[in-house]
Structure 1
Amino acid sequence: MCDLMTQQDLPSNGTLPQNLERLHLILVTLYSINLAGGIAGVIVMARQLFQRNIQSMTPIIIINLMVVHSILLLSLPFRLTYYISSEWKFGWFTCKMFSAMIYTHMYITFIFYVAIIIIRLLRLEFQRWYTKTWITAVWFVGTLVIFPIFLSYYGTSKNYNHSKCFQFHRDIQEQGMMIANYCMIGIIVATVSALSIIQLVIIFQLAMKYWPDMNSHVEFRAQIKSFFFILVILVCFIPHHVFRIYYNQNFPPEDDHNLFLYNEIFLAITALCCLDMLCFIAGIAH
């Protein structure tokens, strides 16, 4: 659960070895896609939602997803600047804040996705005050629990080079962070596995019930759209957490820049969930 990247042994002329330059290019490409697609999706989706009379729970969650995505998108230009120039110029606290932000974004987004899936699976309808209460609780956990934990752990080592950023690899060796890593990996993998099985079983049952005209039934289409959120989790979040198991067990030496950057690439993939608004606009999941 640490945002990892170190380049302390770069040549004095500031150029990167070819393999590191290639990995940097991948990072720049991923974050550029996240930034451009995320901004476009948030703007268009915001216009659509503000033209509606929002009463149901799912649109309210989508609005909150827009907010949490927007907060992350504000940090991406700083990440892009760093990966392009290989030098952090925005202060040490800002580095720690942006490092914590991407993980806070991932876990809040995960909670909202799971909520949408469960609501559609169980066909739940809540009163407006109840919806606002639990959404407020999610934001409370994210901003006053998850974010401060990352912020307090990051940068505790005194050996960091402040002209570099996202290099909090030493802090992962703390026992508390190791335990938190494995706990979050277990929770996310178990949750996604259970929801995937349940969702697939329901889709299969509905397909058998309404065959061959299942696409004409709202119930079947709703469950197919719900499966979209599981796919986003599987594509964006699971690879990072699976890689974290390997990373924790094969903690890299100081000169192994590749493994640090591979972790950063998997972390960048988690931010691809910001493109979900484009799917909402296309009607794939909404």
Structure 2
Amino acid sequence: MYIPKEIYRTMPEETTTLPNASQPNDIERYALITIYTVAFIGGTIGTIAMSFLLVKMNTLSVTTAAIVNLVVLHSLLLLTMPFRLYYYISQKWIFGFAFCKAVSAMMHIHMYLTLLFYIITLIIRWLIFFQWKDKVEFYRKLHAVAASAAVWIVAIVIVLPLFIARYGNSGEYGNTTCFTFQQELKKESVKALNYVIIAVVTAITCVFLGLQVFIILKVVKKLPGSVWSHQEFWAQIKSLMFISVIIICFLPYHLFRVYYIQHIEENQSETYNDICLSITAISCLDLLSFVISGSRFFKQKIIMLRDKLTCC
């Protein structure tokens, strides 16, 4: 049927919405905005504060090198957070599909590299505790740089390009939507990889938590008097904080992932997966918590609180 141009111009344009381009509702969107805002502000403060502390350090320990890498890693993730916040606020992605995949990849790279640096730090602390090593240090700064560079080369030079090149190719994704790559989970190989990662992360968390609780109980039995005044006890509490971050920030995402893989087509499960993923960004607050917990003022307040509770 012929339609005059004048009438055709006044007709509303049809818009197509891809089935996998769902948007979270307002409550869930506000939750995502809040979580990322808290992570961005707290992470930025913690990264800056820890950077000042690291400048004053002259040690070349493996733990210090791991903390330095955490500062760099958190900084990279924090640089991508404004783009996520813009997307969830405006509900429109304007930065291109390739950059969307890069920002999405950074969340996962950050999560697993953070977990790796936590594992390294905890193992070194345990080696020292069990007196298998008095002190684990790099003999030269070049060794620390080389070890760190090896990790970053694998992550940035190999993993990130592969992620960007291969991820997001299994489905049709809208140009104005982002972070909706659930169609990739329909691949059996991707499902298998996810299940393996979930099992490994869960097993590591359980083993590390059990071992750390055992160490803390051993320290409490060994130390005379009040344990709160002993540096060794606080050192183990700091190790427990590493594991707490894993449990609070990383474990929920992996446990929910089991359900999500089996219910990919449900829009609600996709939103919950996004929220669980956003919680992993809260791990950026770890540096701030380390700075605060390591301060003398914080320890004094904890001891005062303990004394008041004891008196009552």
Counterpart amino acid of residue 151 in structure 1: I
The residue aligned with 2:287 is: 277
Against the structure 1 CA distance between its residues 167 and 53, is the aligned structure 2 distance closer, same or farther, given a 3 Å change threshold? same
Distance 2:165 2:189 in 1: 12
Distance 2:195 2:118 in 1: 21
Q: Is the 8 A contact 2:238 2:290 kept in 1?
A: no
Quote the offset at 1:214 in angstroms.
Answer: 2.5
Quote the offset at 1:98 in angstroms.
Answer: 0.5
Identify which of structures 1 and 2 has the higher relative contact order when contacts are C-alpha pairs closer than 8 Å and 6+ apart.
Answer: 1
Against the structure 1 CA distance between its residues 47 and 20, is the aligned structure 2 distance closer, same or farther, given a 3 Å change threshold? same
Quote the offset at 1:155 in angstroms.
Answer: 1.6
The residue aligned with 1:176 is: 189
Quote the offset at 1:206 in angstroms.
Answer: 1.2
The residue aligned with 1:165 is: 178
Q: Does 1:50 align with 2:79?
A: no
Quote the offset at 1:150 in angstroms.
Answer: 2.5
The residue aligned with 2:240 is: 227
The residue aligned with 1:127 is: 138
Q: Is the 8 A contact 1:153 1:171 kept in 2?
A: no
Quote the offset at 1:179 in angstroms.
Answer: 1.5
Distance 2:231 2:215 in 1: 14
The residue aligned with 2:78 is: 73
How do 1:1-286 residues align onto structure 2 when only pairs under 5 Å count?
Answer: 8=18, 20-123=25-128, 124=133, 125-129=136-140, 130-251=143-264, 253=265, 256-284=266-294
Q: Is the 8 A contact 2:170 2:183 kept in 1?
A: yes
The residue aligned with 1:13 is: none
Larger radius of gyration: 2
4+ residue segments displaced more than 6 Å: none
The range that moved more, 66-75 or 46-55, is 46-55
Distance 1:107 1:36 in 2: 22
Quote the offset at 1:54 in angstroms.
Answer: 3.5
Counterpart amino acid of residue 228 in structure 1: M
Distance 2:18 2:172 in 1: 11
Distance 1:48 1:221 in 2: 18
Distance 1:52 1:61 in 2: 14
The residue aligned with 1:4 is: none
Structure 2 counterpart SS, 1:126: coil
Distance 2:223 2:50 in 1: 32
Counterpart amino acid of residue 78 in structure 1: F
Quote the offset at 1:285 in angstroms.
Answer: 9.6
Quote the offset at 1:230 in angstroms.
Answer: 0.2
The TM-score with structure 2 as length reference comes to 0.81
Quote the offset at 1:44 in angstroms.
Answer: 1.9
Counterpart amino acid of residue 198 in structure 2: I
**Unmatched runs of 5 consecutive residues or more in structure 2:** 1-16, 297-312
Against the structure 1 CA distance between its residues 210 and 116, is the aligned structure 2 distance closer, same or farther, given a 3 Å change threshold? same
The range that moved more, 40-49 or 100-109, is 40-49
Counterpart amino acid of residue 288 in structure 2: L
Q: Is the 8 A contact 1:225 1:285 kept in 2?
A: no
Q: Deviations over 1:256-275 (max 9, x none)?
A: 43211110000000010101
Counterpart amino acid of residue 172 in structure 1: L
Distance 1:135 1:203 in 2: 30
Count matched residues: 270
The residue aligned with 2:8 is: none
The range that moved more, 50-59 or 124-133, is 124-133
Q: Is the 8 A contact 1:72 1:105 kept in 2?
A: yes
- What fraction of aligned residue pairs are identical, expressed as a percent? 38
Against the structure 1 CA distance between its residues 41 and 183, is the aligned structure 2 distance closer, same or farther, given a 3 Å change threshold? same
**Unmatched runs of 5 consecutive residues or more in structure 1:** 1-6, 11-15
Counterpart amino acid of residue 197 in structure 1: G
Counterpart amino acid of residue 211 in structure 2: I
